Structure formats: C-alpha cells, structure tokens
Amino acid sequence: MGSYDLIVIGTGTAAQVAARRVRRAGRSVAVIDHRPFGGTCALRGCDPKKVLVSGAEGIDLARRMRSHGVTGDLRIEWKDLIAFKRTFTEPVPRRREEDFAKQGIDGFHGVARFTGPDRVAVNDHILQGRHILIASGARPAVLGFPGAGHLTTSDAFMELEHFPGRIVMVGGGYIAAEFSHIAARAGANVAVLQRSARMLPTFDAEVVGWLMDKFAEIGVDVRTGNAVTAIERTGDEYRVHKQTPHGEAVASADLVVHAAGRVPDIAALNLSAANVAVAGGRLKLNDFLQSVSNPIVYAAGDAAAKGPPLTPVSSHDAKVVADNILEGTRHKADYRGVPSVAFTLPPIAAVGLSESAARAQTPKLRMKSAKVPDWYTARRIAESVYGYKTLVDEDSGHIIGAHVVGPHADEVINLFALAIRHNLTAADLKSAMFIYPTGASDIGYML
C-alpha cells in the first residue's frame, strides 16, 4: 500500500494546481485519472473549443467585411480545422505525465474509488492519504428521455471527422450557444431546442436579447419552450420528438448534441465508503472546500461545484485547498468578480451582479445600458451587435456588475472583473488610460 500526504483524484486544472503546490512544499503527492492526463479544459473544453471558434472567427470577419473592400468566399474545411485542434490537444497527456514525473508526483491510471475514509483504490493499488482531494470534474447530465443514448457529447462534437448538414442542439446554455455559432459558420443548418424561456439564462436577459439578433442573422433556429421528449434513429437520420408551446412536434437531424448541462462527476467514487456526505448529487462542503463529514477530504473545481464551473475557478479552488492543507484549514474560497463568457461571435460576457440582484441589494443603483452598434469598435468591423449594461453602487461608486455583448467583450470584461474583485470605483476605471482604439477604450463611455 502506498502512503501519500495528498492523493488527488483527477489530473485537470484543479488537480494540477493543488498537486504542484503541495509537492513544492516537500509533501508526497499522487494523482489518479482514468482518462488521458490533462483534464477537460486542455483536452475537451476551453482550449480545443476556442481553436474551433478561431476558425469560425476567420469566416465571420471576412463575411462581415465583404461589402467593405474584402472579396472572395471563404469556407471552413472541418477536417483540417480538427487536425489543427489536435496539434493543441494531442501533446497534452504526455507533457502532463512528464511534468508530474519531473515534480516527483506519482501518476496512476485508472478509476479511483474510495475504500475507506483515508483510502482510495485504483486498479490493484490501494493508496492511503493524509489528505484526499476530489478534483474529478463534471460530466454531461444524464437525460432521462428515451433515445438519450443517441446524443453526441461535447467531447465527441470536437472530434467529428465529417461535419453534418443538420444539427440539433439540446439545451440552451453556453455550450449550445458556442457550438451553434461554430456550426453555422461551418455551413450546418442548426436548431437549438431550449426548454426554458430564453437562451443563456445565466446572462442578462436584455443583453442576451441583443445577441439573439445574431443567432437569427446567421440562421440558427432557436426554439425556446421546447422540451425534448425522445430521440429515435430512422434510416440515416435522427428524429427529435419535442413538446412545444403549440403541442408535440418532431425535428429531423443528422446529429443531436447534448448541450443540456453538466453535473459533478462523483457517482463512481464510492463516497459512502469514505463517509463523504452528498446531497442532491453535490458534495456537502464547508467554505474551506472541505467535506463536512470527513475533514481529510477536500474538493475543488467542477467536482466541488461551489463556484461557477470555469477553469479559473478550478485553479482558485485548488490554491485554497493546497493552502488549507499546508497552513491549516483557514482559507475560504472567494468568488467575487468571477467573469464568465460565451464565445459566440460576437462574445457575450458578464461579471458581478445581475440587474435584479443589484436592485435588491443596492439602495442607490446607477445603471447604464445601451445598444451601441454605431460605436466605432463595432462599425470598424461591420459588427451589428454591440451593447452593454453597467451597474454601479451610487453611494460607494463601486462597480458591482457589468454585462457586455459585442467585439472584444471577452477581453473587456476582464477589466470590469479586476475592478469588482479589487473594489475599484467607476471613477477609477474612467480615469485609467486605455489604448485607443481598442475595446477597453469604450469602458469610459459604458460607465
């Protein structure tokens, strides 16, 4: 039996950050993964997705500039784009193995299962840990309707060798939004079936409304209030049965994508053997990211599901856990000013409070909001969608929320995130000198 100061389940962002920090302090560390080492962001999430977005960006800019001095037709050669994507993903597992080995971290391949409060089995090995970190990430939610097995996951979507002509996205969150924007630029007919009343429900309704014009412009058929009830395969197509506000209906597709949410990947861990409490499919953790029922067990990132399921949050959680292990359990997770984005074209981004939360919490709220496609930033690249909403506490001057859609929203939001996390005021941001003309140089006008 191997004994370690820290056993980490997973080798994604959270696992890497925690393992490295604890190992650097001279402690013994093991990591376990049943998939190639590297985790979701590098292999099946942010990084490969953004490579596909880059292909779509090339097409999109050329098309928008078509009547402004740019001529010729461009198109996406899907298999070449996927080949380019693989140049990013394929080297990752070997590099991670080598990095762990170089740092003196032991890597184990296989499914990790608790066999006791401080014990984890992987294949024929039993590992004993002074601390155990669950950094097992998230997986697509199980959808209960008949034929759900026909769904293509986001992992498989980013591995498609041949691009289909007709795609149905089941769900209306950021994965559906991003994938439908990529797919439409790659030439597919795309429909999005979203059960709730609007797309991107975690983003500001008004700002999402502006982005929906772009979905229409690129021909993505968004159906809200549409709940998928079954999928069947007939011949060489899928028939997607759905309940709509007008009754039952069927949509046909060559590919049906699971974009209906992800949940913590903890079911296989045999948590009861370790007395690790779970409620509603989530680990029960305190503010120190420690199990409330087994104090040697911590969780971080998507598995912890304390903060939003984003890579910077996984990294933040992992630092908190490593510090708690090394310095005593006194560090709390702090999710103030975590920005989020959907990499649609153009992107939509948000940080801080929503308008309704800001109204509820702030006696004197200054809200500024406008649709501004006529601003230079958008006009220069013939982009028809640009708008913002900023929320400032009138009493303190602090920026408490920002919501942006349009060119460079994914970069501009980082400055608002900095302001919110470090209590900067609107006056502070307005007095900063940003390079002109960039997306950031519009911030002064947004406040």
Ligand X SMILES: Cc1cc2nc3c(=O)[nH]c(=O)nc-3n(C[C@H](O)[C@H](O)[C@H](O)COP(=O)(O)OP(=O)(O)OC[C@H]3O[C@@H](n4cnc5c(N)ncnc54)[C@H](O)[C@@H]3O)c2cc1C
Q: How far is CA 119 from CA 7, 114, 244, 269, in A?
A: 9, 6, 49, 11
Rounded to a whole number of angstroms, the minimum distance from the CB of residue 341 to ligand X is: 7
**Contact between 424 and ligand X (CB under 6 A)?**
no
**Contact between 40 and ligand X (CB under 6 A)?**
yes
Closest to ligand X by CB, 35 or 223: 35
Alpha-carbon gap, residue 311 to 375, rounded angstroms: 32
Nearest CA to 183 out of 39, 20, 60, 101 is that of 60
Contact range with ligand X by CB under 6 A, out of 4-12, 88-96, 248-256, 399-407 = 4-12
Rounded to a whole number of angstroms, the minimum distance from the CB of residue 249 to ligand X is: 28
How far apart, in Å, do the first and last CA atoms of the chain sit? 60
Interface with ligand X (CB under 6 A), residue from 137, 147, 173, 307: 137
Instruction: List, as own/partner pairs, every contact residues 371-376 make where C-beta atoms lie below 8 angstroms and the sequence separation is at least 24, other chains included.
Output: 371/210, 372/406, 373/406, 375/442, 375/445, 376/437
Alpha-carbon gap, residue 219 to 213, rounded angstroms: 10
What residues from 86 to 115 belong to the interface with ligand X (CB under 6 A)?
111-112
Cβ atoms 265, 139 nearer than 8 A: yes
Angle at 43 between CA 324 and CA 8, to 5 degrees: 25
Residue 262, SS3 per DSSP: strand
**Contact between 319 and ligand X (CB under 6 A)?**
no
**Contact between 27 and ligand X (CB under 6 A)?**
no
**Contact between 344 and ligand X (CB under 6 A)?**
no
Interface with ligand X (CB under 6 A), residue from 60, 118, 204, 302: 302
Alpha-carbon gap, residue 154 to 171, rounded angstroms: 12
Binding-site size for ligand X (CB under 6 A) equals 35
Rounded to a whole number of angstroms, the minimum distance from the CB of residue 40 to ligand X is: 3
CB atoms near residue 430 (< 10 Å): 12
Q: Where are the beta strands (DSSP E) in 359-431?
A: 365-371, 387-393, 399-405
| Structure-block tokens of residue 262 | 């992800």
Alpha-carbon gap, residue 391 to 402, rounded angstroms: 6
**Contact between 10 and ligand X (CB under 6 A)?**
yes
Rounded to a whole number of angstroms, the minimum distance from the CB of residue 314 to ligand X is: 4
Interface with ligand X (CB under 6 A), residue from 6, 7, 23, 45: 45
Closest to ligand X by CB, 152 or 362: 152
Nearest CA to 318 out of 103, 90, 131 is that of 131
Interface with ligand X (CB under 6 A), residue from 27, 34, 198, 282: 34
Phi, psi of 378, rounded to the nearest 5 degrees: -85, -40
**Contact between 66 and ligand X (CB under 6 A)?**
no
Residue 45, SS3 per DSSP: coil
Rounded to a whole number of angstroms, the minimum distance from the CB of residue 440 to ligand X is: 20
Interface with ligand X (CB under 6 A), residue from 46, 61, 143, 381: 46
**Contact between 156 and ligand X (CB under 6 A)?**
no
Closest to ligand X by CB, 344 or 390: 344
**Contact between 413 and ligand X (CB under 6 A)?**
no
Contact range with ligand X by CB under 6 A, out of 234-242, 304-312, 378-386, 428-436 = 304-312
Chain residues that interact with ligand X, rule: CB under 6 A: 9-15, 32-35, 39-41, 45-46, 49, 111-112, 135-137, 154, 175, 265, 268-269, 301-303, 309-312, 314
